[in-house]
Amino acid sequence: MFWGSTGGVRRVLTAKHERLRALGWRHTVVAPGADGPAMIDCGGLPLPRSGGYRLVLARGRARRQMEFVAPDLIEAADPYTLAWAALDAARHLQVPAVAFCHSDLPALAARLIGGPHTSALGRWAERSARRYLVGLYRHFDLVLAPSRGLAERLQVAGVPRVAVQPLGVDCSVFTPQAKDDAWRAALCRHHGLPASTRMLIYTGRFAAEKNLPLLADAVRLLGPGHVLVAVGNGPVPPTGAQVLMLPPEQDSRRLARMVASSDVYVHAGDQETFGLGVLEAMACGTPVVVPEAGGLGELASDAGLRVARPLPRLWAEAIAASLAGHPAALRRTALARAQAQDWPWVMQQLTQRYAALIGRPALPPAQPRQLPAPMALPQLARHR
């Protein structure tokens, strides 16, 4: 259901789709609005104020679509109707079923029903969502979580067979070498900004849980000469005189150029399970400022600046500190973490998990290959 017009989940699924097929695996995406080779559109009703998501109601249709392609394994990327359809199809085909936990459903339910502040109604919604997840995920052969914190919360809640599976970044595209001063100067000229403007960038959906108004307020407190470049779309965009909104960028190389050419990458979402945009910024060598809570805080630990509370003043102070200097230790840690989650390594781990479940031979260990300086990354051997 998270197959929207933009956002990290679609980009991750697309990357997995392309890389699995390149490795010789047969891989099909079943999603609302999916279109292209080995893509199946399962329909769905548009969800208001969701940034392009669709709610799938036809469980039986989705099950039949999955059964038609006769997979050896089915992975569900959301915990709603498609997850139950995946379980139905897996039982019928007698193949393993994997769940990938892309969203923190209890936290999302608490915010949607109880509001942005803690309330009795929000706590009830959180407990109900947690019970639902346990009841769903206990039927899967494996549940993957992109961060250690989320995996631990699932385990404490009672979900069995949970494993940490980080997401990947293409370090041959998202690299410090993607920085383009000429592009940045042209962007400033086009939008009437002084060349000395300090550019803060956010990429992704404009949704309530991303807390974009908080970033807009923080940039306003920083004063003239600072601008928030928000790349994406959605129902809750940031607003203000110091906000520059740009449309979603589907081309990875152009997106990497944007991120690498900015002064700081900012993301205020406190319900993120991972943070693909933050990982891409770390791979580009761009300083990151994120919340201390959630998957973003875990990802940026010792690799960026983390803000303890969602207060504009604290965010402005953290951004100002990041603009004042990016310590070499943070930069080294950020680059090393991104390189450790380069897609070849991630795909090796993921396909080994798949192979263990379906009983096919696992891929041999990745062999290093030489990439442009300053880093050498692994190459995953082709599966045959």
What are the tens digits of pLDDT across the range 101-113? 988 888 888 877 8
Cite the beta strand spans of 232-279 per DSSP E: 243-246, 264-266
pLDDT score recorded for residue 367: 44
pLDDT score recorded for residue 139: 96
pLDDT score recorded for residue 51: 67
- 114 within 8 A of 123, measured Cβ to Cβ: yes
pLDDT score recorded for residue 384: 34
Domains of the chain: 8-169 (3.40.50.2000), 176-338 (3.40.50.2000)
Residues of the chain with pLDDT under 70: 5-6, 50-51, 116-117, 360-384
**257: exposed, middle or buried (Cβ count in 10 Å: 0-12, 13-18, 19+):** buried
Q: Is 31 helix (H, G, I), strand (E, B) or coil?
A: strand
- 212 within 8 A of 317, measured Cβ to Cβ: no
